Amino acid sequence: MIFNYNTVLTAIVLAFSMTSVDAAAPVVRRTCFTGGTVGTECRQFINNFCNSVTANVAFRNNQERCYNTPNFKCDFGAFYEFSADANPPAALPSTTNCINTLNNVTNTCGGFGGYGNVAGGGFTFTLDPNQGQCGQIEAPGS
Ligand SMILES: *[C@@H]1O[C@H](CO)[C@@H](O)[C@H](O)[C@H]1NC(C)=O
């Protein structure tokens, strides 16, 4: 077998697809909120949130967490939204995909927050700066 560029690339792709849980995949379907509280301070909580989801999330369920900044709050979510199965077992979101998606939101949404997925990822990750402090109900994007 000759190891040329394509062989190596194929091997890498195979290796990633076999351990797909934490493979880095491009962020797709990233949607920014267009109104509401603006600020990039929620960035500081991305790692904590993405590492905090350690229990399986049921399909179509959301694991949420809220963090306070001095002037507003940051609502985070990991929503198990997509599956090829109609009724898949509960699953853990990928920490890497969570971090990549929410960094993308922070870097590209002008501080409004937003949500997105990586290619093929079942979880939609949300970062949303909102008025008030944690424990107060706000509409998404406010
Ligand atoms: C963020 O996601 C968008 C939409 O999928 C993509 O076009 C863009 O390249 C990503 N940007 C970064 C910095 O990852």
Question: For the chain, which residues make up each domain, given as ranges?
Answer: 25-130
Can you give the length of the chain in residues?
Answer: 142
Ligand 1 centroid–CA 130 distance in Å is 23
Q: Is 27 in the pocket of ligand 1 (CB under 6 A)?
A: yes
Give me the phi and psi of 116, to 5 degrees please: -175, 180
| Cα distance between residue 140 and residue 57, in whole Å | 21
Compute the mean pLDDT over every residue in the chain, rounded to the nearest whole number. Answer: 86
Q: Is 99 in the pocket of ligand 1 (CB under 6 A)?
A: no
Instruction: Write out pLDDT tens, residues 80-126.
Output: 999 999 999 999 999 999 999 999 999 999 999 999 999 999 999 99
Instruction: Write out pLDDT tens, residues 23-40.
Output: 568 888 899 999 999 999
Q: Is 109 in the pocket of ligand 1 (CB under 6 A)?
A: no
- pLDDT at 19 exceeding the cut of 60: no
DSSP, collapsed to helix, strand or coil, labels residue 102 as helix
Whole-structure pTM value: 0.80
Supply the DSSP symbol for 44.
Answer: G
**Taking the mean position of all CA atoms in its chain, how far away is CA 30?**
10
Contact by Cβ (8 Å): 114, 30: yes
Q: Could you tell me which CATH class the domain 25-130 is placed in?
A: alpha beta
